[in-house]
Amino acid sequence: MKHARVAYAGAVHRVTESSGGVRLPSGRILSEEDVVWLPPLLAGTNHPGTIFALGLNYADHAKELDFQAPADPLIFMKGPQSLCGHRGQTVRPRGVSNMHYECELAVVIGKTARRVSKANAFDYVGGYTVANDYTVRDYLENFYRPNFRVKSRDLSTPLGPWLVDAADTPDPMNLDLRTHLNGQVVQQGNTRDMIFDIPTLIAYLSGFMTLAPGDIILTGTPQGLTGVQAGDEVITEIDGIGSLKNTIIED
């Protein structure tokens, strides 16, 4: 099942997908344009958990940036204020010359995980959603230490629209993903090309820290980066998970 969180008529609602629109708990069906989309959350949680993100987790992306693929997962953390929902707006700071989209599969942890084996890792996944982890490369110190100014900017990471139950995603390591910039496909890849797959990431992280329900792991992006400008419409989509629309605005 696909779940989402929206604002409508002065209240926040947890909704499900219905005929291309959203179904309120009352049963009323609305179009996606009738609501304000919020970042989806795991059922039973009221705020995002810890947000982990992967750098250089696709070999082709590392190559296009002239970096070697890392020997161990290159993981950094993001603040919750960096998230925004489907159809939201992301600011392009004034004076920057190098701001890129990054289409990523986001893994949402479903139950407490500590020292989980790779063989059992998928048992701890609650669901999947789409992320667009924008990067302002002008501010990047280096690719092995992405700083907060790059990755925790307000509303710099659209997430959603749907959180798809793990049970409804039988093969998350074989999903096509792509980015459309103003209607043109500019990025394509498949999750099977991750350097460190989902079980490896969960086992690695849970080996030294406890993962909690609602924690989010952004699993990296493939090659195909193009700069974005104010006024651009960016759609990042993953087959079976969703299509996430975002607009760039001027600072």
Q: What is the pLDDT of residues 11-21, one digit of tens each?
A: 999 999 998 89
Q: Looking at residue 12, which CATH number applies to its domain?
A: 2.30.30.370
pLDDT band at 28 (very low <50, low <70, confident <90, very high): very high
Q: What is the dihedral sign for C-alpha 174, 246, 101, 4?
A: negative
**115 and 147 fall within a common domain:** yes
Q: What would the mean pLDDT of 186-202 be, rounded to a whole number? A: 95
How far CA 13 is from CA of 37, 60, 131, 243, in Å, comes to 10, 40, 21, 20
Tens of pLDDT, residue by residue over 169-192, are 999 999 999 999 999 999 999 999
The structure tokens listed for 226 are 């193009």
Length of the chain: 251
Query: What is the C-alpha separation between 194 and 137, in angstroms, rounded?
Result: 22
Domain count, the chain: 2
**9 and 48 fall within a common domain:** no
Closest residue by Cα to residue 142 from 70, 222, 250, 228:
70
Tens of pLDDT, residue by residue over 94-126, are 999 999 999 999 999 999 999 999 999 999 999
Tell how strand 29-30 and strand 51-55 pair up.
unpaired
Query: What is the C-alpha separation between 240 and 251, in angstroms, rounded?
Result: 34
pLDDT band at 225 (very low <50, low <70, confident <90, very high): confident
Task: Identify the three-state secondary structure at position 64.
Answer: helix
**For residues 128 and 106, is the Cβ–Cβ distance under 8 A?**
yes
pLDDT band at 152 (very low <50, low <70, confident <90, very high): confident
Mean pLDDT lowest among 38-42, 61-65, 66-70, 231-235: 61-65
Query: What is the C-alpha separation between 170 and 105, in angstroms, rounded?
Result: 14
What integer pLDDT is reported at residue 123 of this predicted model?
98
Above pLDDT 70, what percent of the chain?
Answer: 94
Intra-chain end-to-end CA distance of the chain, in Å: 37
H or E stretch at 106: strand 103-109
Per the structure, the complete domain to which residue 12 belongs is given by 1-38
138 or 33: which leads in pLDDT: 33
Would the pLDDT of 63 be above 90? no
What integer pLDDT is reported at residue 115 of this predicted model?
98
The structure tokens listed for 95 are 């004076």
**For residues 73 and 104, is the Cβ–Cβ distance under 8 A?**
no
What integer pLDDT is reported at residue 20 of this predicted model?
82
What integer pLDDT is reported at residue 151 of this predicted model?
82
**32 and 87 fall within a common domain:** no
Mean pLDDT lowest among 41-45, 58-62, 244-248: 58-62
Q: Nearest 5°: phi and psi at 198?
A: -60, -50
Whose structure tokens read 């989902």?
198
Q: Looking at residue 196, which CATH number applies to its domain?
A: 3.90.850.10
Averaged pLDDT of the chain: 93
Would the pLDDT of 60 be above 80? no
**92 and 157 fall within a common domain:** yes
**20 and 70 fall within a common domain:** no
Whole-prediction pTM value?
A: 0.94
Task: Identify the three-state secondary structure at position 139.
Answer: helix
Query: What is the C-alpha separation between 231 and 247, in angstroms, rounded?
Result: 7
**31 and 47 fall within a common domain:** no
**Residues contacting residue 132 through CB under 8 Å, at least 6 positions apart:** 101, 102, 103, 104, 157, 158, 159, 179, 234, 236, 244, 246
Query: What is the C-alpha separation between 200 and 57, in angstroms, rounded?
Result: 12
What integer pLDDT is reported at residue 49 of this predicted model?
96
What integer pLDDT is reported at residue 27 of this predicted model?
95
244: β partners: 236
**100 and 149 fall within a common domain:** yes
